[in-house]
Structure 1
Amino acid sequence: MEEKQELPQGWVWTRIGEIAPTSSGGTPSRSNPSYFTGNIPWIKSGELGDGYVVEYSESISEAALAGSSAKLFPKGTLLIALYGATVGKVGILTMDAATNQAVCGIFLPEWVELKFAFNYLFSLRREFIEQGKGGAQPNISQDIVRNTPFPLPPLPEQRRIVAKLEELFSRLDAGVAAVRRAQALLKRYRQSVLHAAVTGELTRAWREAHPAPAETGAALLARIRGERRAQWEAAQVAKRGGQLPLNDAWKSKYVAPPGPETSGLPELPESWSWATFEEISERVTVGFVGSMKDEYVDEGVPFLRSQNVRENKYSPIGLKYVSPTFDESISKSRLEPGDVVVVRSGSVGTACVIPDTLPAANCSDLVIVKQPKVLPEYCAYYMNSVAKARVNAQKVGVALIHFNTQAQAAMPLSIPPLAEQAEIVAEVERRLTVLDALGQTLADELKRAERLRQSLLHRAFTGRLVPQDATDEPAAALLARLRAGAAVPAKAAKGKRKAKAEPESKQLSIKL
């Protein structure tokens, strides 16, 4: 908020540093284990959540206070994050606590309502982020905090503003909570649709109306296996220039993909069968694994990464491109419409089908199910539903969670008859289309709620949320008393710790 903005009568522009001292915390040396064996809460910037600070992951000792730059801030201190992804996040201490250097404490005088200042700083987060840009991470300094313009109303009006905001935010938060509950219900219903689709429940009535499939799942699998063997034999003959060997002994060298391990798998409808992803596809392979330094170009061959794979849907957001030359050099990981790609780092197991809109593409470290012989959309539904638990059970890695090609190749897959697969895909698409529309409506409601929240904050700090009272003591008089030394703000304690205060059980109503 800019200081040049005109304020109501009785208000005055000041700066945070004019009304309150500030101090950042510090980090005791990790080389001294005794520093982290005490019971003094030590708050880090990631533990500020735009509400009361009631949880913390580490504590420090009295020795740490005495032997480092760490300071003890009293209960009720207003905090703001200075570094990184949490820049501008605010919090209110519910206990005496120390902080690290990424957190700034603001020690307000009694004539500045704590929640008034909290809400004001909360409303400025975007501005703090903008001021912190320029480095690898957005950082702000205490000087920026101290120089932040602060619209100061009379104390009674501050209290009226806080009361009104809490009343309005309480209603707004109730609405937001209802929307989030609806989103959770939609997510569960979406999963139930996919689960029903790949276990046969969704098409139970359809099967009753079509009791004799032209080709069962078992017959379809047998045909796929036969075609796979025939392709292998044709390839062997081609290697010999079209000349057939004198006998058929060479055919015994064919190694068929192993079938699935069915122990523990649920029972399927009579016309369905179990297979593996390796059995029903040309092959299961992996995208390019290696450095992409200097390989991206402005135009060229689309190059998919995990962020382009959403549940049952390809997303062009953030799509990269590589040159045709580089694409040729990594031809093993080329994609074509109808391939199924599965994320193996990050949102592990999420799958989608490569659409016809990408006739030529390549990809990074994704598992690729090449040209499945069952409907690829059905394969994606299976991966995004009952296969999730199996994928999660096979995660490996430390820094990243990975899912490998061997696990994907051996993954059991329920196989309905082709006609039923088509019915499943059509029915799922119909239902998901409705769910997507509802989901977008709910997302729009959340955006509208956030805009309303910001609008209420703007009205509050421009004097348009509650009426002014001519009998209120003007804010200028408050500042005059401060400058005359009549009001002395509380300061952060250093070294000796105060008696521990009991944390408040209530939560701030303005918590997003």
Structure 2
Amino acid sequence: MPFEIPKGWVWTTLGDIGTWQAGGTPSRSNKSYYGGNIPWLKTGDLNDGLITNIPETITEDAVANSSAKINPAGSVLIAMYGATIGKLGILTFPATTNQACCACIEYFAITQHYLFYFLLSHRNMFIAKGGGGAQPNISKEIIVNTAIPLPPLAEQERIVTKIERWFALIDEIEQDKSDLQSIIKQAKSKILDIAIHGKLVSQDPNDEAASKLLKRINPKAEITCDNGHYTFDVPSGWITTNLGSIFNVVSAKRILKSDWKHSGVPFYRAREIAKLSIYGLVDNELYISEEHYNSLKEKFPVPKASDIMISAIGTIGKCYIVKESDKFYYKDASVLCLCNDYQINTKYIYHIMRSEYMLKQMYDNSKGTTVDTITIEKAKQYILPLPPLAEQQRIVAKIEETFSIFDGIQNSLEA
């Protein structure tokens, strides 16, 4: 006996408590076997619950001339082959199955749902018995010889009731977790919206006005922007300006596929930039040679600390702040680099670029092509609110303090 069981229970096997049968696949070469009125289930149709829909059907001739068998409503099904081993279902109407399914069609001293939950509890055991390889599988013999502790029928029903009560509670918790994740995402977006309207932290009249900051670092900058579609009232000491006034927006020289290497200096395209984190570079499989990188450095801008990389094709608007220790190159116009040659707080720009306000500008101005694309000229015209430098720092500190709390909650939800 695998373990001690309560008084009144007995050890038996799945073969002793039910009648089991596998299915079959009628010949695919005979088209008259398919499209009939008999549902024919494949393991991909199993859903770990009640089966209410089976897309494919076969004919009576198919059943008569193959190993497919009609299983009555209420049969408990289990998958025996491939990645779906242990997947379950309960038929709500008569149906046939392919040979990858085994069905319990009669029950002796056991309730249908107790058997279902027992099989569910043993899924990992069935997977382990299926072994590895390209097509792991178990057999009907393995199933019928599996030991099962059998309580009295009345206790089986009480056990099933308790299981379903707990599962309902778990489902409710999972839904609450999903709702909370959504609320956190909305809250983060709201915080960024409050930040760009100057309402996240208080203004200090002693801060140097943003207009003076901008004139000092870039005398040619546009201090005011007349664009009613994207501008709004900002607090005293703030200005609205365009991205090209505070950043040199550039892209890289095109790297030919023939120059891609398996080692050397990491080389990122838009799809990789979109996966980058504020915390550091991700592993990458594309490189260019050290010699090639050095030659590019002499003629074209390479990412340097505090620059911001933006994915500009496909998944647009994903940002990454370049770190002091980073050394990499990027692919032509699929990635844009905001060269932070002035005295702008990089993290302020990073957070503002993730706001709904900035993302709307990006998407509104990226249409008209097959794939969403941000061009250098369009990026330069993006309007953004710019507070005094000291307030930029206070905004960043408040955003990161608040986001850290939210991230802690999200991490606990995912644990």
Tell me the TM-score normalized by structure 2: 0.70
The structure-2 alpha-carbon separation of the partners of 1:344 and 1:324, relative to structure 1 and needing over 3 Å to count, comes to: closer
Between the aligned residues of both structures, percent identity stands at 23
Q: Structure 2 counterpart of 1:23, which letter?
A: A
Residue 150 of structure 2, aligned match among 150, 153, 171? 153
Q: Structure 2 counterpart of 1:439, which letter?
A: Q
Higher relative contact order (CA 8 A, sep 6+): 1
Aligned to 1:216: 211
Give per-residue Cα distances to partners, 1:134-168, cap 9 Å, x unaligned: 446x6434458636724141342433322222233
CA separation in 2, counterparts of 1:337 and 1:144?
Answer: 64
1:376 aligns with 2:343: no
CA separation in 2, counterparts of 1:291 and 1:335?
Answer: 22
Contact 2:239 2:387 in 1 (8 A): yes
The structure-2 alpha-carbon separation of the partners of 1:327 and 1:160, relative to structure 1 and needing over 3 Å to count, comes to: farther
The structure-2 alpha-carbon separation of the partners of 1:6 and 1:34, relative to structure 1 and needing over 3 Å to count, comes to: closer
1:319 aligns with 2:318: no
Residue 206 of structure 1, aligned match among 202, 208, 218? 202
Residue 412 of structure 2, aligned match among 423, 432, 441? 441
Q: Structure 1 counterpart of 2:205, which letter?
A: H
Which residues in structure 2 correspond to 1:388-399 (within 5 Å)?
Answer: 388=359
Instruction: Indicate the SS of the match to 2:178.
Output: helix
TM-aligned CA deviation for residue 377 of structure 1: 2.6
CA separation in 2, counterparts of 1:397 and 1:26?
Answer: 47
Aligned to 2:387: 417
TM-aligned CA deviation for residue 12 of structure 1: 1.7
Contact 2:12 2:149 in 1 (8 A): yes
Aligned to 2:192: 194
Contact 2:266 2:328 in 1 (8 A): yes
CA separation in 2, counterparts of 1:23 and 1:291?
Answer: 54
TM-aligned CA deviation for residue 89 of structure 1: 3.1
CA separation in 2, counterparts of 1:220 and 1:423?
Answer: 18
Which residues in structure 2 correspond to 1:30-429 (within 5 Å)?
Answer: 35=34, 45-54=43-52, 58-60=55-57, 62=59, 73-81=71-79, 86-97=84-95, 104-131=102-129, 134-135=132-133, 139-143=136-140, 146=143, 149-156=146-153, 157-197=155-195, 199-203=196-200, 206-207=202-203, 209-210=204-205, 213-216=208-211, 220=214, 224=218, 226=220, 262=227, 264-265=229-230, 267-269=232-234, 271-276=238-243, 280-285=247-252, 295=262, 313-314=278-279, 319-320=283-284, 325=289, 328=292, 335-342=303-310, 349-356=317-324, 358-361=325-328, 367-372=335-340, 374-386=344-356, 387-388=358-359, 403-406=372-375, 410=379, 412-419=382-389, 420-429=391-400
CA separation in 2, counterparts of 1:278 and 1:128?
Answer: 64
CA separation in 1, counterparts of 2:19 and 2:259?
Answer: 50
RMSD: 5.1
Instruction: Indicate the SS of the match to 2:110.
Output: coil
CA separation in 2, counterparts of 1:395 and 1:133?
Answer: 51
Unaligned runs of 5+ in 2: none
Contact 2:314 2:373 in 1 (8 A): no
Instruction: Indicate the SS of the match to 1:216.
Output: helix
Contact 1:81 1:104 in 2 (8 A): yes
The structure-2 alpha-carbon separation of the partners of 1:193 and 1:73, relative to structure 1 and needing over 3 Å to count, comes to: farther
Contact 1:78 1:92 in 2 (8 A): yes
Instruction: Indicate the SS of the match to 2:22.
Output: strand
Instruction: Indicate the SS of the match to 2:234.
Output: coil
Contact 1:286 1:405 in 2 (8 A): no
TM-aligned CA deviation for residue 359 of structure 1: 2.4
Unaligned runs of 5+ in 1: 228-255, 445-512
The structure-2 alpha-carbon separation of the partners of 1:61 and 1:359, relative to structure 1 and needing over 3 Å to count, comes to: same
Contact 1:312 1:377 in 2 (8 A): no
CA separation in 2, counterparts of 1:294 and 1:75?
Answer: 59
CA separation in 2, counterparts of 1:307 and 1:196?
Answer: 30
CA separation in 2, counterparts of 1:27 and 1:397?
Answer: 48
CA separation in 2, counterparts of 1:151 and 1:370?
Answer: 65
Give per-residue Cα distances to partners, 1:224-278, cap 9 Å, x unaligned: 5849xxxxxxxxxxxxxxxxxxxxxxxxxxxx9xx99957435252633252479
CA separation in 2, counterparts of 1:53 and 1:327?
Answer: 61
TM-aligned CA deviation for residue 432 of structure 1: 0.5
How many residue pairs match? The answer is 396
CA separation in 2, counterparts of 1:144 and 1:337?
Answer: 64
Instruction: Indicate the SS of the match to 1:313.
Output: coil
The structure-2 alpha-carbon separation of the partners of 1:429 and 1:49, relative to structure 1 and needing over 3 Å to count, comes to: farther
